[in-house]
Structure 1
């Protein structure tokens, strides 16, 4: 049985990982790796690179004088970056253990974003399916990942299936 990691420890660990990944993404070796990646890995690496850039840009907030608001303003893009990277793993990864961890990351990070916004009285974003749950217009209906788990969706809206 896995011992749960306290939220504060996870948050600190997430920040350390984000900083390490940021340093890696800025390195010439990482950029060269994107250029020499296999055709199977290139979309995953490009998606992660874009997620990291969005996250780092989003975390660069101008201080407002309100520590709590500044904390949330930095943490929401950080958590969204983790969600985006986990969704890339779900789209392209093959290891079932890592895919389950990625699913947990998506759920936990979404819950923490909601909790932080509620704590500040901020409005919540509208419910929407995750990007990997939507069928892009340019993708044929038969195209899907062989190990996708379409039944594992998180619906954050107030309506439930039982009411139908």
Structure 2
């Protein structure tokens, strides 16, 4: 689940995606920004879930729980702003 990232980190945008965003304004910019941020947050959730499953350091696992909770809520808010309103499939 690299989401187009050359680093292989989930949710990281590549240069082409960022350059596309730079060229937009108004509603088109807003929609692309929100769409990219949802993808970025989904990547964070994926990485946090990996920490929860594989990690052993309690403070990191607690942080991962917090990330899943906060990022899932932010995804719901952004999807509402976009009019899609469906929950994140990676929030489990």
Same fold (TM over 0.5): yes
**1:101 paired residue number:** 63
**1:77 paired residue number:** 39
TM-superposed CA distance for 1:57, in Å, is: 5.5
Using the size of structure 2 for normalisation, the TM-score is 0.70
Q: Which ranges in structure 1 are unaligned for 5 or more consecutive residues? A: 1-21, 26-48, 131-164
**2:73 aligned with 1:111:** yes
| Match of residue 12, structure 2, among 41, 56, 67 | 56
Larger radius of gyration: 1
Q: Which ranges in structure 2 are unaligned for 5 or more consecutive residues? A: none
Deviations 1:115-144 (A, max 9, x none): 0111221241477871xxxxxxxxxxxxxx
Structure 1's 110 and 129: CA in aligned 2 closer, same or farther, altered over 3 A?
closer
Report how many residues are paired: 82
* Runs of 4+ deviating beyond 6 Å: 126-129
Using the size of structure 1 for normalisation, the TM-score is 0.42
